[in-house]
């Protein structure tokens, strides 16, 4: 397991970290994002999508649960914010995780034991624009 901590001082820097992470992603990778509301999870997802060549507008998936974007590879963006424990347990997460692209799960800390190997990223608010990203690489 590799872990690193990154401090960003603006949303653009958080997005840039997402782009950097994207350069090391491959088909089948899963990213588990956690952090409080407003911490920058969707900003981070935008950076990943930019890094993977997605041209369409990336938004929070909160109201639709899951969105797919096409870039160099498929990006499945799942947002668990509005779901209760039973709904999360009933969600066919594996259908997204075992696709032919990258899966990003926001509010992944709401998942019980459904997690597979992947990147676990926790974003914490340190100030108005300052964020701490803790990145654990749990891929095989």
**Which tokens belong to 23?**
């350069």
Cβ contacts of 4 within 8 Å, gap of 6 or more: 134, 135
pLDDT in tens, 72-94: 999 988 888 766 666 656 666 66
Spell out the domains of the chain, with CATH numbers in brackets. Answer: 2-137 (3.40.50.300)
Alpha-carbon torsion 140, 117, 37, 23, what sign?
positive
pLDDT in tens, 17-40: 999 999 999 999 999 999 999 999
* pTM of this prediction exceeds 0.85: yes
């Amino acid at each position: 397991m590799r872990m690193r901590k990154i401090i960003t001082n603006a949303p653009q820097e958080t997005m840039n970290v997402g782009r950097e992470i994207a350069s090391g992603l491959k088909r089948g990778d899963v990213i588990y994002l956690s952090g409080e509301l407003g911490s920058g999870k969707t900003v981070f997802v935008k950076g990943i999508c930019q890094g993977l060549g997605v041209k369409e507008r990336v938004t929070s998936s909160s109201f639709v649960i899951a969105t797919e974007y096409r870039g160099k590879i498929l990006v499945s963006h799942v947002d668990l914010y509005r779901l209760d424990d039973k709904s999360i347990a009933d969600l066919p997460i594996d259908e997204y995780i075992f696709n032919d692209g990258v899966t990003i799960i926001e509010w992944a800390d709401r998942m019980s034991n459904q997690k597979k190997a992947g990147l676990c990223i926790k974003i914490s608010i340190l100030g108005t624009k300052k964020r701490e990203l803790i990145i654990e690489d749990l891929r095989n």
